[in-house]
């Protein structure tokens, strides 16, 4: 199978390299293009055999499956560029949440899917959210999930829940890293302990907590109760967090959903959907 990548920015290159490094793809199976060609050339230097394409149409023409890894408002122009090149048996997979499957199916003759990857795929971990268009057959779905399985846990979700699930699976590493960075900064300022050592301790704690939630049979609330002793230090600190963070996650969700709605309306306008004039 030949796999194309249109867009090799932050997430496009991460997905490409994770698939190669895991052995899911060999470099000579990959065709890639980017508006800054030097980025693709650097990828080829790291992965000899990777095909550097001079246009997005060339990438699309040579690939059985094409990942579209560009920003939402760049999609319409990309689809206009590659649309006449595509065949009905090919698959186009978007990695961008505001661009809807119906947008893609209205513009393309081929099979369409959408995934939301995670930075955690760089270490062959994390959940990859998967959504499929009406032309996708069971064997197509199996092919996509087989490709993604070495770097992630692919799960099927309804597209209507893409934003809230993305908050956890895709944005979550940034949110948790922000929390840990603030915590580590305070620890360094308070105690003078080495930042690197504290960061390592925090990372191991986070890794272990994840295993307890996914393999240890704990829910988040049960884990809090398991660690906490009534009247103890953890209980005092949890009470502080509870009073300090009241409503913050509802505001976080309102923020991410608000931005998503704004981007979705812009995409609708470009594709002539509900948000168009």
Residues in the annotated binding site for NADP(+)? 6-11
DSSP string of the chain, one letter each residue: --EEEE--SHHHHHHHHHHHHTTSS-GGGEEEE-SSHHHHHHHHHHSTTPEEPSSHHHHHHH-SEEEE-S-GGGHHHHHHHHGGG--TT-EEEE--SSS-HHHHHHH-SSEEEEEE--GGGGGT-SEEEEEE-TT--HHHHHHHHHHHTTTSEEEE--GGGHHHHHHHHTSHHHHHHHHHHHHHHHHHHHH---HHHHHHHHHHHHHHHHHHHHTS---HHHHHHHH--TTSHHHHHHHHHHHHSTTHHHHHHHHHHHHHHHHHHHHHHHHTSTT--
Specify binding-site residues for NADPH: 56
Specify binding-site residues: 6-11, 56
Residues 181 and 158: their CA atoms lie apart, in Å, by 33
């Amino acid at each position: 199978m030949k796999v194309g990548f249109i867009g090799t920015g932050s997430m496009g290159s991460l997905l490409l390299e994770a698939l190669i490094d895991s052995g899911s793809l060999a470099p000579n199976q990959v065709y890639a293009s980017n508006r800054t060609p030097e980025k693709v050339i650097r990828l080829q230097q790291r992965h000899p055999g990777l095909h550097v394409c001079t246009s997005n149409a060339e990438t699309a023409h040579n690939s059985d499956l094409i990942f579209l890894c560009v920003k939402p408002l760049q999609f319409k122009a990309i689809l206009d560029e590659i649309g006449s090149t595509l065949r009905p048996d090919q698959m186009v997979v978007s990695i961008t949440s505001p661009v809807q499957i119906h947008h893609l199916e209205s513009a393309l003759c081929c099979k369409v899917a959408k995934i939301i990857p995670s930075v955690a795929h760089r270490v062959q971990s994390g959940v990859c959210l998967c959504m499929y268009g009406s032309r996708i057959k069971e064997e197509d779905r199996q092919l996509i999930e087989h490709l993604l399985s070495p770097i992630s846990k692919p799960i099927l979700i309804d597209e209507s829940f893409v934003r809230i699930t993305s908050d956890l699976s895709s944005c979550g590493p940034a949110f948790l890293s922000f929390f840990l960075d603030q915590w580590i900064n305070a620890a360094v300022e308070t105690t003078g302990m080495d930042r690197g050592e504290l960061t390592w301790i925090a990372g191991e704690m986070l890794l272990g907590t994840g295993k307890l939630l996914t393999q240890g049979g704990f829910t988040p609330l049960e884990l809090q109760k398991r660690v906490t002793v009534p009247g103890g230090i953890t209980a005092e600190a949890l009470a502080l967090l509870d009073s300090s963070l009241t409503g913050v996650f509802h505001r976080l969700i309102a923020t991410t959903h608000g931005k998503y709605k704004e981007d979705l309306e812009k995409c609708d306008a470009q594709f002539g959907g509900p948000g168009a004039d």
